[in-house]
Amino acid sequence: MLLEVVELQAAYGAMRVLHGISFGLEQGSVTALLGANGAGKTTTLRALCAMARSHGAITFDGRRIERMATEDIVRLGIAHVPEGRGTFTHLTTEENLRLGGYVRKPKGQVADDMERVYGYFPRLKERRRQQAGTLSGGEQQMLALARALMLRPRLLLLDEPSFGLAPLLVQEFFHILAKINREEGVSVLLVEQNAALALEIADHAYVLEVGRIALGGAAEEVKRNEAVRASYLGS
Amino acid sequence: MEQLLSQILAGLATGGIYASVALALVMIYQATQLVNFAQGEMAMFSTYVAWAMIQAQMPYWIAFFLTVGISFVMGAAIQYFVLQRIRGQPVLALVVVFIGLLVIFNSLAGWIFTSTIQVFPSPFPAESPFGQHYISAHELGATVVTLVLITLLWAFFRFTSLGLAMRAAAQNPVSSRLVGIRVGQMLALGWGLAAAVGSVAGMMVAPIVFLDPNMMSGILLYAFAGALLGGIDSPGGAVFGGFLVGVLENLLGAFVVGNELKLVVALVVIVGVLLLRPSGIFGSVQVTRV
Amino acid sequence: MMASAPPRLLSVGMPIAVACAAPFVLSNYHIFQLTLVLVYAIALLGLNILTGYNGQISLGHGAFYAIGAYVAAVLMDRFGVPYWVTVPVAGALCLVVGFLFGLPALRLEGLYLALATFALGVAMPQLLKYKPFEPWTGGVQGIVIVKPDPPWGLPVSADQWLYYFTLAIAIAMFVLGANLLRGRIGRALVAIRDHPIAACAMGIDTARYKSLAFGISAMYTGVAGALGAIAVQFVAPDSFTILLSISLFVGIVVGGLSSIGGAFFGALFIEFVPSIADQISKSAPWAIYGVFLIGLIFLMPMGINWAIRLGWARIARSLHAAPAQSRSR
């Protein structure tokens, strides 16, 4: 079990968002976190990175990380692609990627990593000197993922990557994501409102409702579940 | 014609000093969205520290670099111990703290070093390579030093990963944390650099205007004018603005309004820029969404 | 935050009674100092209206003080105008100048306004020394004013008379200020400070009130400047440097923003700290100001008066609690 979460509670000020959720994530798997708006999916990812106040036990690769600061959690190998992508809009594409590799120890490898990442996203290579804020929405999403990959993460946290993207771009993005998971063994925790899409590439899935886990299991089972089909898959 | 040229050159010399202080102001503004009202007093205090070392028979350049180092530490310490604690407080509280720092540095300098006007030595030879007509040796030397300083800073921010990390931390602290950047450290670094730059500016200007606790208040005003004119969030703009203000100040002072109203010129520039084009020549326009 | 204010009789009546009696037991120099305290209190109330109540930061109010002072000096010395006429004239002129300054200031927010006013404060002495103005302003040497004699042959010293004159004006200005701030205008100012967009949406003419705040604030400070000039009997450009503006700023921060009584405490602070601390070292007063400024932000965001109100609330609470205790026995 790469990531284990036990009784995670989180709040924004006085407003409690997560009421004690527990779940696990296997090494090398793609796990989807589904749910409607306001269910607490983004909060879960933020709590994992110490970007939201939380209680509960979070164990990553055998280490308890709930008391650690964001910058240190990143150094353990968790890369978070937040809602809204978090691109450094005033910096160039290439500078964004360099920042992705900021904490990597052997500095020489960063250049190699960049070539590898450009391999996944050739469009970014064309735009390497362009200011990141001028890239299209789809390209910025690619850039956000590419930057996360520069870290050579063990675990990738993705928050609503399909948001605001044209369907064709979304397909392309998820195709690349699946490839990365297969070829490099990067584990993925994927938060998505678009349940159908997420369930296609996921191995496991959890459904969050109003701050609690309503359902969890293998992706195939979740896909077949009647309640899920009714609420999230539109059938 | 000769007088015009010499006024322009002198303007570039003082402009280099304004450009340096303006650069320090912009560095802090970029990182914190705050204007460091105490920048001038910090630079003045650093210059006094250098003076004290030189009085104690230390060779000029050793005192120079030691002062730069001490100023760096001082700036980083202020960010870490004072400013870090008050992040997120309303603007008025922040202004109060800056004014507090201004006043403390000013009074500390007067108390430790006394307020009598002192002579500060220039490290450059008395004879200028071009003769005294166009530009004095010190003015030439000061221009070179400030240009070298600005170039070094530019290279640092543009080419090193630490410089990149500092730029990132200033623009987007949240995303910076997500790539592992320790934002608090970056801020302290930024403040340290700004204080160091200020100290160089102070040491370059002191031989010209003589050293006393109120030496920098006028210079701070010109630096503000330069930074605003060039763009408060654009380092290149601030440098350009600083040089422009230096030349303008000298030309207007010599040929138009007379030397007595130079500060008023700075005031007019500041108010004018803020009213007409707050983002300056090279800055980006900030749109606040309601 | 509901802290109850001490009963009006105590908080207003007592100090006024003390203020009236004071000149009879103090030396001329101390009376002079108290006169200056009153002068600063008026100026601080003015600055507080702008910065405390309306949220517009001014680091250049020394300029308005200087204008008021020079108006009084020039009128008295060059044109032979009686001293008591110069005060309202200074006030009126500063009202207009302040209002006019407030118009471009509408475009400036927070830090930028602080910056612009800071520049004004730094540049003011140079403006006052400007050669073409010298026939009126007296240039670097300034102008000396003759201390006015008590009228109608009253049996008080000139210092005592000046004190009562200033006291009367101070009381009048404070009453005016209290009425302004506790009424509709005050509420509008505070609404603009705290929720500018909502205030605008509710129909408050934000621009008019903000410029008005500038004008009224400048008027108060101009009146103070005139009174101060008459008390000190001297005006010169270097009396009105940026340090004066900073002193005024320190006064309202220490005395308490958004508090009318706080102006008085701030005035006591900026008058007496220098005269006491000066004996330690010339730089000591400013070091103390600096430490207070930073310390207050760390410890007590709203200033001394706020702390007094808080203290009074605790006393009131314990008075309410006591009868309940005796009943339960």
Give whole-number Cα distances, A74 to A68, A101, B197, C31, in Å.
10, 11, 33, 67
Residue C316 one-letter amino acid: A
Q: Within an 8 Å CB–CB cutoff, is residue C301 touching chain B?
A: yes
Three-class SS state of C105:
helix
Whether chain B has a CB inside 8 Å of the CB on C107: the answer is yes
Question: What are C270-299's pLDDT values in tens digits?
Answer: 999 888 888 877 778 888 888 888 888 887
At C5 the pLDDT is 60
CB-CB neighbors (< 8 A) of B290 in chain C: 197
C-alpha distances out from residue B117 to B114, B207, B281, C104, Å: 9, 11, 37, 38
Residue C242 contacts B where some CB pair is shorter than 8 Å: yes
**Residue C221 maps to a domain:** yes
The two most distant CA atoms of chain C are separated, in Å, by: 82
Which of C130, C281, C289 shows the shortest C-beta gap to B103?
Answer: C289
Residue to mutate among C56, C124, C297, with most B CBs inside 10 A, is: C297
3-class secondary structure, A156: strand
How far is Cα C37 from Cα C43, in angstroms, rounded to an integer? Answer: 10
The larger pLDDT score, comparing residue C168 to residue B126, is at C168
How do strand A3-12 and strand A53-60 relate by DSSP bridges?
A: antiparallel
**Gap between the Cα atoms of B17 and B20, Å rounded:** 5
CA–CA separation, C39 vs B215, rounded Å?
30
Are B166 and B187 in contact by the 8 Å Cβ rule? The answer is no
Report yes or no: B177 at the A interface, CB cutoff 8 Å: yes
pLDDT tens per residue across span A125-161: 999 899 998 998 888 999 999 999 999 999 999 999 9
Touch of B by A (3+ CB pairs closer than 8 Å): yes
Q: Hey, is the C-beta of B34 within 8 angstroms of any chain A C-beta?
A: no
Mention every residue, 6+ apart, whose C-beta is less than 8 A from residue B102.
Answer: B37, B38, B40, B41, C246, C290
Q: Which of B161, B171, B176 sits opposite A98 (nearest CB)?
A: B161
Residue B106 and residue C286: Cβ atoms within 8 Å? yes
Q: What is the pTM of this model?
A: 0.83
The pLDDT assigned to C326 comes to: 42
- Say how many C-beta atoms besides its own lie within 10 A of residue B289's C-beta: 3
Residue A22, pLDDT score = 92
Distance CA B35, CA A27 (A): 48
Report DSSP letters for B157-225, one per residue: HHHSHHHHHHHHHHH-HHHHHHTT--HHHHHHHHHHHHHHHHHHHHHHHHHHH-B-TTHHHHHHHHHHH
For the segment C135-164, the average pLDDT, to the nearest whole number, is 84
In the chain, the amino acid numbered C98 is G
Does the residue C234 lie in any domain?
yes
Query: HSE-up of B6 (CA within 13 Å, CB side)?
Result: 12
Q: C58-98: per-residue pLDDT in tens?
A: 999 999 999 999 999 999 988 888 989 999 999 999 999 99
pLDDT at C324 over 70: no
Report the DSSP pairing between strands A187-192 and A212-218: unpaired
- Flag whether C203 is in a domain: yes
User: Alpha-carbon torsion C203, C207, C208, C210, what sign?
Assistant: positive
Q: Per-residue pLDDT for chain A (235 aa), expressed as one digit of tens each?
A: 899 999 999 988 888 889 999 999 999 999 999 988 888 889 999 999 999 888 999 999 999 998 899 999 999 999 999 988 889 998 999 999 999 999 887 777 888 888 989 998 888 999 989 999 899 888 899 999 999 999 999 999 999 998 888 888 888 889 899 999 998 899 999 998 888 888 889 999 999 888 888 888 888 888 888 777 777 776 5
The complex scores an ipTM of: 0.89
User: For residue C79, what are the domain limits?
Assistant: 8-147+157-238
Angle between helices B91-113 and B39-55 (to 10 degrees): 20
**Which chain C residues are within 8 Å of B262, Cβ to Cβ?**
126
A92 alpha-carbon distance from chain centroid: 23
**CB-based contact B171 A147, cutoff 8 Å:** no
**Residues in chain B closer than 8 A to C118 (CB atoms):** 37
The reply to whether C278 falls in a domain is no
Cβ contact (<8 Å) for A71 and B177? yes
Which is it for strands A187-192 and A30-35: parallel, antiparallel or unpaired?
parallel
**Is there a contact between A91 and B164 if contact means CB atoms under 8 Å apart?**
yes
Cβ-proximal residues to B250 (8 Å cutoff; 6+ apart), any chain: B7, B8, B10, B11, B14
**CA torsion sign, C55 to C58 to C61 to C62?**
positive
Say whether the A–C interface has 3 or more Cβ pairs within 8 Å: no
Residue B214's closest CA among C240, C127, C251, C122?
C122
Q: Is C3 a residue whose pLDDT tops 70?
A: no
Q: Is C51 on the interface with B (CB under 8 A)?
A: yes
C249/B99 touch (CB, cutoff 8 Å), yes or no: yes
Q: Is A92 on the interface with B (CB under 8 A)?
A: no
Residue C66 lies in a domain: yes
pLDDT of residue C40: 96
Contact C287 B91 (CB under 8 A): no
Q: Averaged over C195-223, what is the pLDDT?
A: 89
The type of residue at B240 is F
Between CA B204 and CA B221 the distance in angstroms is: 17
Rounded Cα gap, residues A98 and C42, in angstroms:
58
The pLDDT value recorded for residue B42 is 94
Q: Comparing C-alpha atoms, which of B17, B73, B35 is closest to residue B233?
A: B35
What are the CA-CA distances from residue C21 to residues C18, C27, C29, C34, C164 (Å)?
A: 5, 13, 16, 12, 10
B167 contacts in chain A (CB < 8 Å): 91
Asked if A51 and B179 come within 8 Å (Cβ–Cβ), the reply is: no
Rounded to 10 degrees, what is the CA torsion of B256, B257, B263, B268? Answer: -80
Task: Write out the two tokens for C124.
Answer: 């003011």
The rounded distance, in Å, linking the Cα atoms of A63 and B252 is 67
Alpha-carbon distance values, A226 to A31, A32, A189, A235, C194 (Å): 20, 18, 24, 9, 51
Q: In whole angstroms, give the CA distance from residue C86 to residue C75.
A: 7
Check if A98 contacts B (Cβ < 8 Å). yes
Residue from C286, C289, C291, C299 to probe the interface with B (highest B Cβ count within 10 Å): C286
Check residue C1 and give its pLDDT: 44
Residue C274 lies in a domain: no
pLDDT grade for C325, boundaries at 50, 70 and 90: very low
Shortest CA gap C118–chain B (Å): 9
Nearest of B90, B75, B39, B35 to residue B232 by alpha carbon = B35
Task: Output C311 or C13, whichever has higher pLDDT.
Answer: C13
DSSP output for A158-180: EE-TTTT--HHHHHHHHHHHHHH
Q: Tokens for C108? A: 């400036």
Domain count along chain C: 1
**Where do the structural domains in chain B lie, given as residue ranges?**
17-217
Segments of chain B with pLDDT less than 70: 127-134, 285-290
Which chains lie within 8 Å of chain B at 3 or more CB pairs, if any?
A, C
Which residues in chain B touch residue A98, judged by CB atoms under 8 angstroms apart? 161, 164
Total beta-carbon pairs less than 8 A apart between chain B and chain C: 135
Q: Is any Cβ of chain B less than 8 angstroms from the Cβ of A95?
A: yes
Tokens of B176: 């910076």
SS3 A205: strand
Residues facing A59 on adjacent strands: A4, A64
* Residues linked to residue C131 through DSSP beta bridges, in sequence order: none
Q: Is residue C313 part of a domain?
A: no
Residue-level pLDDT at B213: 84
The pLDDT value recorded for residue C190 is 86
Which pLDDT belongs to residue C107?
A: 81
Average pLDDT, integer, range C158-184: 90
Q: How many interface pairs between A and B have CB atoms less than 8 angstroms apart? A: 59
- Residue B284: both structure tokens together: 């980006």
With cut-offs at 50, 70 and 90, classify the pLDDT of residue C315.
low
Q: What percentage of chain C exceeds 90 in pLDDT?
A: 36
Beta carbons of B103 and C290 less than 8 Å apart: yes
| Best residue of B167, B178, B287 to probe chain A, by most A CBs closer than 10 Å | B178
